[in-house]
Amino acid sequence: MAAGSRLPPRALLLTVAPAAAWIGFFLVLPSIYLVTIAFLSAGPYGLPTPPPSLEAFRELAGFGFLGWSPGNLYTLLRSLWQTVLATALVTVIAYPIAYFITTFPPERRPILLLLVVVPSWTNQVIRTFGWMNLLAPDTPLADAAAFLGFVAPELGLFPSRFAVVLGLVYNFLPFMVLPLYAAFEKLDHAQVEAASDLYARPVDVFRHAVLPQTLPGLMAGVVLVSIPAFGMYVIPELLGGGNSYMLGNLVARQFSGGSNWPLGAAGALLMIAATLIGLQVLRRLGRRLGGGEEVVL
């Protein structure tokens, strides 16, 4: 087929049909179902039932038959804070790792990338149970924290918010290293050397020569880390205890023990809305930091 010629309508339909079917079945239909039950009432056993109601969103805002409670608001703010903190820590750790890997000869880089990725091949629940054992009382890490005065001697490092953030950082580190590594491979070292030759401070070299070139990888990594971290369920459930629940735990409980499906669906819609707002914020931030059209989220 000559360059620039258009596909016949039937061939074009066959090309896009699998992707459209996938998106329709796994994204559009569940979203429609979620929106529908979010605007229904909760029956005697918590299942969605007519008539249509905004009661789920009212409960999500904290209004109940005993008045207003800030519990759900605290859960939302805690989710945002732990997600932002974990994403920032992952970025700080992943940047030098990704750069360090690119300093090796090309034939050795796949091995180093494999060392970063291999731990994520294990089930997330198993990895989290591993951290529970490492952070429990009378372990070397807990004893070291007690020696430094961070925790009481009889207490371990979990359950705690520290353990939740540590678990998030550990689980999502590969999702930041890989896109940053891809960005560092395309780095124009001549710009970095020119900035250094002009006696720019290391901070300015990074800001004006390295960051703009690696911004697409950074934005991709932030999306890959922050979105699943914001809705995380397993890590705060196992490592956090009762004071570190995130929005994912609130939603999951409404579909199981809490038995309030409309409230759970409303919480899930809130997560989707927060994700879309976060993507828009990242897009504007990327352009403000000097990203071009390649910084598209």
DSSP state of 61: T
pLDDT at 2: 52
The pLDDT mean for the chain works out to 85
Percent of the chain scoring above 90 in pLDDT = 17
pLDDT at 88: 95
Cβ-based neighbours of 91, under 8 Å, separated by 6 or more: 176, 218, 221, 222
pLDDT in tens, 29-46: 988 988 999 898 888 888
Q: What is the mean pLDDT of residues 193-222?
A: 86
Q: Which of 93-107, 150-164, 201-215 has the highest mean pLDDT?
A: 93-107
DSSP state of 8: P
Give, for 175, the enclosing helix (H) or strand (E).
helix 161-185
Instruction: Tell me the domains of the chain and their CATH numbers.
Output: 77-230 (1.10.3720.10)
Confidence of residue 68 (pLDDT cuts 50, 70, 90): confident
Distance CA(153)–CA(150), nearest Å, equals 9
**Does residue 4 register a pLDDT over 60?**
no
Tokens 């499906």 belong to which residue? Answer: 261
pLDDT in tens, 213-257: 888 888 889 989 988 898 888 888 888 876 778 888 888 888 886
pLDDT in tens, 166-192: 999 999 999 999 999 999 988 888 888
Helix axes 71-102, 109-117, angle to 10 degrees: 160
Distance CA(139)–CA(142), nearest Å, equals 5
